[in-house]
Amino acid sequence: MRSSRPDRSALRDSQVNDGAIVDTEIATVRSILGLDDDTSVEFDDSGWDSRVYLVSGGVAVFKFARNDIAVQQYEHEIAALGLLESQGGAEVVVPRVRWVDDDRRWFGYEGIVGPSLVAALPTLSAARRREIGTAIGRFLSELHAMSLPNAPICSIDADIENYANKLALSSPALEAEFNAAERARIESFVLDTLATGLRAQPVRLALAHGDLGPWNVVVGSQGDRDGVGIIDFGDVGYHDPAIDFAGRIDATILDAALDAYDADDALRERAFLRARALPVLDIPFYLGKGDAVGLRTRLDEIRVELLA
């Protein structure tokens, strides 16, 4: 079974931002919402397939497609968010879609206001971290049991192929940073250890978020909940469930999430292997963005995770 998830590895040209397009999209957001000049609309350039605009710090969020791949993603993301809203009862808050372009070139949703887990983590107590992890684990138990017609399918074989492709795209940065022996160890992990571990046992694919790291978790007050928010379902599809536990989340949060999910040893091992490989997967993103700081961070993580 081959993946129906699109390959974004060669889309670096789409990362160049045209100021006139950004201005036009901001004007579109202001018009849709009837905003006055005092209301802030901030361009967030951290996305790969989308240009994202935050209204008043995230009260509303709009995503505009950089390319046709994003349009395909929006179909699935909008459907997934609609499914989650209709189900209700989850222990986390997810965005609520409210504005959709007829051609799916953009859509907007009620955002989740609060700090990301990346920013909030240093201030969180161990008890609060366990609460967050438990909420995430229970949410994933619900999500992974759901069905979303026509969602992309990403098999284990497709994942392994994707890891190999990302490794190849990372080669300029790896060659500049590591010696031949170190690169051989990195390649051995990705092409042999990881691939063997993912294929060790049959895996039943499940509807998954697909990019659940601390960058897509929001913590803080959510209405009447001192709760947890999960955002950016652009990679939603049928995946190895372990992918949703591989986002390098804080160890206390991860342990609580796995326990709440009642994860077996095989899923835990696949999550661990995927987490170790994540910095390699991220390098093409930072190369494409020209983000030297992000690239440096990932290279340092590779040294710790795969060479220490």
Residue 262's nearest CA partner among 236, 237, 241 is 241
pLDDT at position 198 over 50:
yes
Contacts of 243 (CB under 8 A, 6+ apart): 159, 208, 210, 212, 271, 274
Contacts of 74 (CB under 8 A, 6+ apart): 63, 65, 104, 106, 107, 234
pLDDT at position 223 over 50:
no
CATH 3.30.200.20 domain residues, the chain: 17-113
Section 33-46 average pLDDT: 92
Residue 95 main-chain phi, psi, to 5 deg: -60, 150
Share of the chain above pLDDT 90, in %: 81
Q: What is the largest CA-CA distance in the chain?
A: 59
Contacts of 112 (CB under 8 A, 6+ apart): 58, 93, 94, 95, 218, 222, 229, 231
Contact 78, 232 (CB under 8 A): no
Contact 66, 50 (CB under 8 A): yes
Residue 179 main-chain phi, psi, to 5 deg: -80, 175
CA 285, CA 196: separation in Å to the nearest integer? 25
Contacts of 300 (CB under 8 A, 6+ apart): none
Share of the chain above pLDDT 70, in %: 92
pLDDT digit string (tens) for 138-194?
999 999 999 999 999 999 999 999 999 999 999 999 999 999 999 999 999 999 999
| 9-18, 63-72, 133-142, 184-193: least confidently modelled range | 9-18
Place of tokens 């008043």: 56
Section 237-266 average pLDDT: 96
Residue 217 main-chain phi, psi, to 5 deg: -115, 130
Q: State the pLDDT at residue 2.
A: 29
- pLDDT category at 226 given cuts 50, 70, 90 is low
Contact 207, 144 (CB under 8 A): yes
Three-state DSSP class for residue 255: helix
CATH 3.90.1200.10 domain residues, the chain: 114-308
Can you give the three-state secondary structure of 124-192, one letter per residue?
CCHHHHHHHHHHHHHHHHHHCCCCCCCCCECCHHHHHHHHHHHHHHCHHHHHHHCCHHHHHHHHHHHHH
Section 78-104 average pLDDT: 90
Q: Quote the radius of gyration of the chain (alpha carbons, Å).
A: 19
CA 76, CA 249: separation in Å to the nearest integer? 25
Place of tokens 């999430």: 257
CA 117, CA 124: separation in Å to the nearest integer? 9
Place of tokens 């990301």: 116
Q: State the pLDDT at residue 87.
A: 84
On average, the pLDDT of the chain sits at: 91
Section 84-99 average pLDDT: 86
The CATH number of the structural domain formed by 17-113 is 3.30.200.20
Superfamily of domain 114-308: Aminoglycoside phosphotransferase (APH), C-terminal lobe (3.90.1200.10)
